[in-house]
């Protein structure tokens, strides 16, 4: 039961008791007023009876007509009073008494009539003294006797009224005490039950809170019932369940994180091992390229050197064809030397440390052009405004040098040559392009442009090792960018590359 | 050419072809000094410090050393270190003449006191020119320290 309901019931009981006691008191007051009225009436009756008795006696003594009239008036008044009393008195006893009194009054009236009809005593004495005197005396005593009887009845009526009034008072008192007592008892019992329940629930709530605070998250209050504290207990349990659930999920998460960390440690160890292995193979590669650069170049130098000695010292013994063949040998040796150099720088770019700093691309492009020694040629070289890039300036210089030297090489046959360098900023990148009006290329082969040793032209047309653009691609890829080319045979080519915008990651 | 300039030239080169080309280039540059060729670092040190097979050279001067780096037995950098750390030989100009283009070889050579670092070109014209210039500079123009 809700505590509020309990308290409401207590209040209602108290209020009910008060109202009941009030109405009982009101009823008792009415009752006691009526009892008082009855008392008054009874004593009024006694007075009326007494007065009537006085007029009777006066009549008996003096036989005056006035007295008789007064007695009749008193009798009529008494009858009317008795009739009135009949409506006031309620008890059977009282009514019967009043009935008897009315009868007595009627009887006394009869006796009085009879007595009045007798001749005057004084006359009677003169005529028939013995008979009438005796009759009169008998009638008079009878009348007096029943009058006494009447008085007795009135007394009885009075005492009945008094008793009733007292009984009413007693009953009222008793009822009031009983009602007050029982309402007090019920309220007290109710309050004590509520208090006990409250205390018990509070204790269990406190105990539960303490146990959960101490870490026993599985603890529940488990209240049954529909009172407010039971509701509070259930909310408390729900809260504890959620706390427990989130604690468990947190613990799982922590465990998961620990597992992940352990995995990361293992992965890191693997990675370290891999890095060690990579470093080792890097060292091997370096040793390899060292010996390549040293040992492969020496025989080439010998081939070229001795061919030259042959040409210089033994020219007379050689005919024109012999000299041409020796020249072929020498040019091939030199070509191979260049290939080795290019390959070495190509592999070195994959290994060497890379700076990542702001680079003035326009200045680099101009300096690369100047470094190629073509500034004296009749060529229109323009550099548009270029966005700054982030990267390794020496590698970027190589990119420009390779692209510009390519453009120079392939514009060679044209009478009017131009090389245009442009740049633009895009959402996440900066894009640069080198445009020329050289011999161009067929877009069908554009994919082959950036492969190592891939060439679209014969060595007879344009010299080269086929490493230059591969180098460009490798440098740009290492910077996190892209390279591409567009061209049309006979009309020129545009080589472009993008780099991540400043601040962007590669 | 005056007497002090007629010391020996030592070529330390394990590749006979390179050695011959170098010799020829020096001859073409009309270098008149005595030229010796040794094939490994150990021999080079014996020559310079007049030991072993070269004990008879005691008192003879060496005017220039052309040193390859990749050598059998004792490598070029070790020869360089020994020559430049010994008071008797540290004044001798040492030209590192190598096929290596590696940056670290260049740095190491200069660190140890090499007087020049020349990468042997594959093209014979360039090679001959380089050797000729070495001869001109180090034998004729450069004034060596006495001692």
Smallest CA–CA separation between A405 and chain B, in Å? 22
Among the partner residues A294, A307, A309, nearest to B100 by beta-carbon distance? A294
Any domain includes A488? yes
CA distance A119 to A258: 142
Are the beta carbons of A165 and A35 closer than 8 angstroms? yes
What is the pLDDT, as a whole number, of residue A461?
A: 67
At residue A453, the pLDDT reads 66
pLDDT tens by residue, A334-373: 888 888 877 777 777 776 777 888 889 999 998 888 888 7
Domain count, chain A: 2
Q: Which residue of chain A is at minimal alpha-carbon distance from B99? A: A294
Residues in B touching A465 (Cβ below 8 Å)? none
pLDDT of residue A501: 80
In a domain, A124, yes or no: yes
Higher pLDDT, B66 or A160: B66
pLDDT at B62 over 80: yes
* B121 contacts A301? CB cut-off 8 A: yes
Q: Which residue of B has its CA nearest to A338?
A: B122
b/e sequence A87-126, b meaning 16+ C-beta within 10 Å? ebbeeeebeebbeebbebbeebbebbeebeebeebeebee
Q: Which of A415, A356, A362 is nearest to A388 (CA)?
A: A362
| Residue B69 burial class via C-beta count within 10 angstroms: exposed 0-12, middle 13-18, buried 19 and up | buried
- What pLDDT, on a 0 to 100 scale, did the predictor assign at position A131? 61
> H or E segment at A211?
helix A129-213
pLDDT grade for B4, boundaries at 50, 70 and 90: very low
Q: Which residues of A touch B24 (CB under 8 A)?
A: 309
Q: How far is CA A277 from CA A271, A283, A344, A361, B18, in A?
A: 10, 10, 22, 37, 37
Mean pLDDT score of chain A:
84
> Within an 8 Å CB–CB cutoff, is residue A301 touching chain B?
yes
**pLDDT tens for each residue of A168-207:** 788 888 888 888 888 888 888 888 888 888 888 889 889 9
Average pLDDT over residues B91-111: 86
Percent of chain A with pLDDT over 70: 92
Query: Hey, of A292, A294, A306, which one would you mutate to test binding to chain B, going by the most B CBs within 10 A of its CB?
Result: A294
Is A348 an interface residue toward B (CB < 8 Å)? Answer: no
- Residue A249 lies inside a defined structural domain of this protein: no
User: Which of A170, A198, A226 is at the close of a domain?
Assistant: A198
Of the residues A182, A198, A214, which one is the last residue of a structural domain?
A198
Q: What pLDDT is stored for residue B1 in this prediction?
A: 38
CA distance A278 to chain B (A): 20
More reliable by pLDDT, A420 or A120? A420
CB pair distance less than 8 Å for A334 and B123: yes
What average pLDDT does the segment B126-134 reach? 86
Cβ neighbours of B101 in A, within 8 Å: 293, 341, 344
Determine the average pLDDT of the residues in A318-343: 86
Please state, in angstroms and rounded to a whole number, the distance separating the CA atoms of residues A115 and A123: 14
* Least confident window among A2-11, A20-29, A452-461, A464-473: A452-461
Q: CA-CA distance, B72 to A363, in Å (whole number)?
A: 47
| Residue A221 confidence (pLDDT) | 84
Do residues A146 and A108 make contact, with C-beta atoms less than 8 angstroms apart? yes
pLDDT tens for residues B78-96? Answer: 999 999 999 988 889 999 9
Last residue of a domain, one of A152, A181, A198: A198
pLDDT of residue A125: 53
Region B20-33: mean pLDDT is 86
Size of interface A-B (CB pairs under 8 A): 62
Interval B12-35 mean pLDDT: 88
A382 three-class SS: strand
In chain A, % of residues over pLDDT 90: 13
Contact at CB, B17 and A301, closer than 8 angstroms: yes
What is the tens place of the pLDDT at every residue in A385-394?
Answer: 989 888 888 8
- Domain with residue A159: its CATH number is 1.20.120.1730
Do B121 and B142 touch, CB atoms closer than 8 A? Answer: no
Q: Which range marks the domain in which residue A108 is found?
A: 3-198
**Helices marked H in B29-102:** 41-48, 76-85
Rounded alpha-carbon distances, angstroms, from residue A187 to A22, A178, A196? 18, 14, 14
In angstroms, the separation between the Cα of residue A382 and the nearest Cα of chain B is: 34
A298 with B18: Cβ contact below 8 A: yes
> Is A100 a residue whose pLDDT tops 60?
yes
Q: Is residue A465 a part of any domain in this protein?
A: yes
Question: Sign of the C-alpha dihedral, residues B133, B136, B139, B142?
Answer: negative
Q: Alpha helix locations (H) across A314-392?
A: 320-351, 361-371
Look at residue B147 in the predicted model and tell me its pLDDT. 45
Q: Is A287 on the interface with B (CB under 8 A)?
A: no
pLDDT(B64) > 50: yes
Q: Which residues does chain A have within 8 Å of residue B98's beta carbon, measured at their own beta carbons?
A: 294
SS3 for A310-328, per residue? HHHHCHHHCCHHHHHHHHH
Q: Taking CB atoms and an 8 Å limit, are B127 and A305 in contact across chains? A: yes
Residue A34 included in any domain? yes
* Domains of chain B, each with CATH number or no CATH: 3-139 (3.40.50.2300)
Q: What is the CATH number of the domain that holds A396?
A: 3.30.565.10
Q: Do B102 and A290 touch (CB under 8 A)?
A: yes
Q: Hey, are the CB atoms on A299 and B70 less than 8 Å from each other?
A: no
Cβ distance of A294 and B124 shorter than 8 Å: no
Chain A neighbors of B15, CB-CB under 8 A: 298, 302
Report d(CA A332, CA A303) in Å as an integer.
10
Residue A248 maps to a domain: no
The average pLDDT across A457-461 equals 66
Please check whether residue B90 is in contact with residue B58, taking contact to mean a CB–CB distance below 8 angstroms: no
**pLDDT of B103 higher than 80:** no
What is the distance between the alpha carbons of residues A238 and A41, in angstroms, rounded to a whole number? 77
Confidence of residue A459 (pLDDT cuts 50, 70, 90): low
Report yes or no on A345 lying in a domain.
no
| Span A21-40, average pLDDT | 81
pLDDT for residue A505: 45
- What ipTM goes with this model? 0.76
Q: Give domain status of residue A451, yes or no.
A: yes
Q: What is the pLDDT of residues A236-292, one digit of tens each?
A: 889 989 989 999 999 999 999 999 999 999 999 999 999 999 888 877 877 777 677
Q: Closest approach of chain B CAs to the CA of A346, in angstroms?
A: 14
Lowest-confidence pick of A7-11, A126-130, A206-210, A239-243: A126-130
| Burial (0-12, 13-18, 19+ Cβ within 10 Å), B13 | buried
Assign B146 a pLDDT band (cuts: 50, 70, 90).
Answer: low
Chain B interface with A: residues with Cβ < 8 Å = 15, 17-18, 21, 24, 69-70, 98-102, 120-125, 127-128
Per-residue b or e along B45-65, where b marks 16 or more CB atoms closer than 10 Å to that residue's CB: bbbbbbeeebeebeeeebbbb
Q: Flag whether pLDDT at B44 surpasses 80.
A: yes
Give CA–CA dist B27/B35, Å, rounded: 10
CB of A247 closer than 8 Å to CB of A212 = no
């Amino acid at each position: 039961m809700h505590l509020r309901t309990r308290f409401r019931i207590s209040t209602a009981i108290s209020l009910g008791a008060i109202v009941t006691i009030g109405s009982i008191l009101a009823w008792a007051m009415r009752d006691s007023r009526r009892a008082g009225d009855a008392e008054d009436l009874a004593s009024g009756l006694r007075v009326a009876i007494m007065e009537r008795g006085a007029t009777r006696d006066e009549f008996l003594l003096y036989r005056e007509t006035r007295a008789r009239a007064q007695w009749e008036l008193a009798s009529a008044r008494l009858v009317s009073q008795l009739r009135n009393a009949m409506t006031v008195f309620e008890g059977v006893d009282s009514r019967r008494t009043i009935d008897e009194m009315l009868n007595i009054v009627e009887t006394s009236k009869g006796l009085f009539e009879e007595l009045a009809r007798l001749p005057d005593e004084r006359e009677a004495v003169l005529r028939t003294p013995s008979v009438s005197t005796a009759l009169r005396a008998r009638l008079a005593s009878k009348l007096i006797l029943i009058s006494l009887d009447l008085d007795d009845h009135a007394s009885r009526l009075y005492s009945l009224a008094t008793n009733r009034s007292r009984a009413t008072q007693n009953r009222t008192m008793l009822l009031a005490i009983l009602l007050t007592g029982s309402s007090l008892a019920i309220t007290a019992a109710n309050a004590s039950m509520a208090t006990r329940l409250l205390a018990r629930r509070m204790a269990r709530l406190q105990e539960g809170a303490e146990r959960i605070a101490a870490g026993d998250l599985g603890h529940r209050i488990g209240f049954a019932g529909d009172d407010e504290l039971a509701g509070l207990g259930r909310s408390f349990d729900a809260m504890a369940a959620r706390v427990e659930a989130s604690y468990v999920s947190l613990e799982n998460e922590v465990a998961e994180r620990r597992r992940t960390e352990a995995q990361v440690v293992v992965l890191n160890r693997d990675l370290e091992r891999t890095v060690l292995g990579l470093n080792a193979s890097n060292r091997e590669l370096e040793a390899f390229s060292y010996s390549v650069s040293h040992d492969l170049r020496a025989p080439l130098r010998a081939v070229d050197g001795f061919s030259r000695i042959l040409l210089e010292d033994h020219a007379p013994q050689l005919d024109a064809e012999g000299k041409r063949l020796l020249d072929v040998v020498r040019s091939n040796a030199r070509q191979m030397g260049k290939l080795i150099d290019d390959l070495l720088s190509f592999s070195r770019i994959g290994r060497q440390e890379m700076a990542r700093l702001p680079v003035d691309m326009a200045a680099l492009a101009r300096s690369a052009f100047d470094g190629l020694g073509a500034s004296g040629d009749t060529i229109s070289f323009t550099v548009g405004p270029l966005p700054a890039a982030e990267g390794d300036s020496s590698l970027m210089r190589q990119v420009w040098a390779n692209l510009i030297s390519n453009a120079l090489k392939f514009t060679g046959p044209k009478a009017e040559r131009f090389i245009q360098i442009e740049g633009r900023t895009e959402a996440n990148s900066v894009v640069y392009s080198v445009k020329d009006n050289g011999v161009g290329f067929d877009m069908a082969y554009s994919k082959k442009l950036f492969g190592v040793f891939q060439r679209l032209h014969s060595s007879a047309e344009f010299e080269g090792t086929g490493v230059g653009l591969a180098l460009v691609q490798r440098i740009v890829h290492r910077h996190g960018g892209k390279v591409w080319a567009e061209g049309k045979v006979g009309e020129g080519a545009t080589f472009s590359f993008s780099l991540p915008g400043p601040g962007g990651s590669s | 050419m005056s007497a002090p300039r007629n010391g020996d030239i030592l070529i330390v080169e394990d590749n006979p072809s390179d050695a011959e080309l170098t010799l020829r280039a020096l001859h073409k540059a009309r270098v008149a000094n005595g030229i010796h060729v040794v094939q490994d670092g150990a021999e080079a040190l014996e020559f310079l410090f007049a030991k072993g097979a070269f004990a008879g050279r005691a008192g003879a001067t060496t005017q220039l050393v052309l040193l390859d780096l990749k050598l059998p037995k004792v490598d070029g950098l070790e020869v360089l270190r020994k020559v430049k750390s010994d008071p008797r030989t540290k004044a001798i100009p040492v030209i590192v003449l190598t096929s290596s283009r590696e940056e670290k070889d260049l740095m190491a050579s200069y660190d140890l006191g090499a007087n020049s670092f020349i990468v042997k070109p594959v093209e014979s014209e360039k090679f001959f020119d380089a050797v000729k210039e070495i001869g001109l500079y180090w034998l004729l123009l450069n004034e060596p320290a006495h001692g």
